[in-house]
Amino acid sequence: GAVVSQHPSWVICKSGTSVKIECRSLDFQATTMFWYRQFPKQSLMLMATSNEGSKATYEQGVEKDKFLINHASLTLSTLTVTSAHPEDSSFYICSANVDRGSGGNQPQHFGDGTRLSIL
C-alpha cells in the first residue's frame, strides 16, 4: 500500500519550454503532498508543500511563479516548471503521506522522481 506514482520519469526539452510533472497517490488520499529537488550526491531539498484545495506553501528562495503547483484533488498534485532554463535541470521528487484523520503527521511516501534536462 501507499504507492505514489510520478510521471514522466524523464523529460528532455528545449530552453523556454514549460514542463508539467504529475504526482498521484494510487491507493490512498493525500491532503498534503510535497515537492523536492535533488542535485547529484546531495540530500533532498524541499521546494514546496502542496495542499489540496488551497495555495501551496513555498520554501524560502523558491520562485512560486517559476514552479507552479496545483493540487486539484486528493490524489493528484502537479508541478509546472515554467519557461525552463538549463539551470532548472535537476531531479524532482514528490511525496505524500496517508491521511489518517487524526491530525497527526505520518511518514512520507515518495514517487520515483522525474529527471528534467533542459537543453
Partner 1 sequence: QKEVEQDPGPLSVPEGAIVSLNCTYSNSAFQYFMWYRQYSRKGPELLMYTYSSGNKEDGRFTAQVDKSSKYISLFIRDSQPSDSATYLCAMLPYYGNNRLAFGKGNQVVVIP
Count of CB atoms situated within 10 Å of the CB of 85? 12
> 100 in helix, strand or coil?
coil
Q: Is 101 in the site for partner 1 (CB under 8 A)?
A: no
Q: Is 78 in the site for partner 1 (CB under 8 A)?
A: no
> In whole angstroms, what is the distance from residue 99 CA to residue 61 CA?
29
Q: Is 62 in the site for partner 1 (CB under 8 A)?
A: no
Q: Is 86 in the site for partner 1 (CB under 8 A)?
A: no
CA angle 32, 73, 25 (to 5 degrees): 60
Burial of 116 (0-12, 13-18, 19+ CB in 10 A): buried
Q: Is 93 in the site for partner 1 (CB under 8 A)?
A: yes
Of residues 34 and 88, the one with the C-beta less far from partner 1: 34
Least spacing, CB of residue 85 vs partner 1, in Å: 22
Least spacing, CB of residue 36 vs partner 1, in Å: 9
Looking at 108, 117, 118, 119, which residue binds partner 1 (CB under 8 A)? 108
Kindly state the cell numbers that stand for 48. Answer: 514546496
Kindly state the cell numbers that stand for 93. Answer: 521528487
Which residues form the interface with partner 1 (CB under 8 A)? 2, 4, 6, 32, 34, 42-44, 46, 49, 91, 93, 95, 97, 103-113, 115
